[in-house]
Structure 1
């Protein structure tokens, strides 16, 4: 078993998650979906070993890289320098990046179509460009498990497609275990073998994506009608999910108008 979450519970003022169990094999992609505040980021940090759960444990027999949503370096550094920090365990504390390390860093940036801003200061990059650099840093580490917190949240459609394709290739061609959080069900339908829906603190759905990311489950998850559909594109069925935003508008109109002082 590459990665196993065993009866994990995460608590702040109240329980965010409790009695969560699932396991992943090498070469699998897991999408984690849930509304704001449901514990997706907290779960990823626990899986990465950056935080301890109040209950249960995480077992992992492989090297792990964690890709956060944001990073704010306290000093100037180029995108290439940031990616090179991912080589730390290969270089050692007293070593300096070799020509090989720099070549690996450039290759990782190139894979994400980000080598064009390798020499730009990280502070001068957009949020989406930084996310590409952070994923390149994780790639440079040579990890076997990659955990990504909303990796496509600040990306345009083209770069979303790039990062989804890279995650798919890492798992299905290179045998890496990939876990990512997202608010976009179509990302799960595009590349995830397994999906985890965090419905409530103690209510979860885990299983094959086509079995779990359904119209009914998504509508319950986001408290909004969401329709899963299959579109035929180039002779093959492509799954997508469409939120019916106008439905929440009708519900809001029906609420009583608050009285003003």
Structure 2
């Protein structure tokens, strides 16, 4: 894609805590239509990288650009108009309706004491329809299932009306069916021209919806590139310390898809 379509670019970023680096020289870029899957075992720095991309954690070196603008030059309000973030499922302190939760996504576009406008309510209804969750509009958020709640958080992020979405484990703790439903909607959002970064513990998600991948490991190695180049047997085995086979199958349309098949045998490099 052309340079003008690059929505997020991290160039040689190093990040960590208290002067100690966790990740070094990480490069990634996300263009309109991309879904970049962030993979790796627990404790390798996925959350650290997420915080660095979002600006929650200062960079030790390198640069993050959002829509061509250096992130350090953007205040929180300006960044929120360019990038939307959907966290993992959480329980709010009050029993808000789904509509109320979704409308909070308009905060970056409202004044300090302003209330949502008629246009904001219209946008909320359009977003709920786009995600096929209009039926949840008047439900109480705390009474939703995990999959329903995750879709509401994505709807709230879409209310910021940005082209770039950052999703923190959008399929965490969801059953198989709800994972597929959420992934299907994420893929549709990318096909609509948005750029998406999402963390996941399942490499198969990269095969299902990803265009790019970033794979982190305990050895501080960072593999970044297309899904085909990054999500390989060799790279997965090195990152997770298990034997993995990547096999091909065909779906009902005849399209070839890949999936990861792990082995329960002890891996020679496991410590």
Alignment of 1:110-149 (within 5 A): 110-149=129-168
Mapped to 1, the partners of 2:174 and 2:40 lie a distance apart of 19
- C-alpha separation between the residues in 2 aligned to 1:89 and 1:11? 28
Q: How does 1:1-261 map to 2 (within 5 A)?
A: 1-12=6-17, 14-61=20-67, 63-172=82-191, 174-200=192-218, 202-234=220-252, 235-244=254-263, 246-248=264-266
Q: What do the CA deviations read for 1:88-107 (whole angstroms, capped 9, x no partner)?
A: 23343332223332232233
Structure 1 residues 41 and 84 mapped into 2: Cα distance closer, same or farther (>3 Å)? same
Residue 27 of structure 1 deviates from its aligned partner by 2.1
Change (3 A) 1:162 1:177: same
Question: Structure 2 vs 1, CA of residues 117 and 91 (structure 1 numbering), >3 Å: closer, same or farther?
Answer: same
Compared with structure 1, are the counterparts of its residues 72 and 57 closer, same or farther at alpha carbon in structure 2 (3 Å cutoff)?
farther
Q: Hey, what's the Cα distance between the residues in 1 that align with 2:210 and 2:137?
A: 30
Between the aligned partners of 1:24 and 1:40, the Cα distance in structure 2 is 17
1:197-224 CA-to-partner distances (Å, cap 9, x unmatched) read 1124631111110121111111211111
Instruction: State the alpha-carbon separation in 1 of the partners of residues 251 and 89 from structure 2.
Output: 35
Distance, in Å, in 1 between the alignment partners of 2:109 and 2:181 is 27
**Runs of 4+ deviating beyond 4 Å:** none
SS in 2 for 1:247: coil
| C-alpha contact (below 8 Å) 1:112/1:162 kept by paired residues | no
Segments of 5+ residues of structure 1 without an aligned counterpart are 256-261
Q: How far did 1:59 drift?
A: 1.1
Question: Structure 1 length normalisation: TM-score?
Answer: 0.86
Partner of 1:259: none
Other-structure match for 2:77 = none
Provide the rounded CA distance (Å) in 2 between the counterparts of 1:69 and 1:53: 23
Deviation at 1:225, TM superposition (A): 1.4
Question: How well do the aligned residues superpose, as a CA RMSD in angstroms?
Answer: 2.3
C-alpha separation between the residues in 1 aligned to 2:61 and 2:34? 25
The alignment's TM-score, normalised by the length of structure 2, stands at: 0.83
Structure 2: stretches of 5+ with no match in the other structure: 1-5, 69-81
Aligned residues of 2:40 and 2:217 also touching (Cα < 8 A)? yes
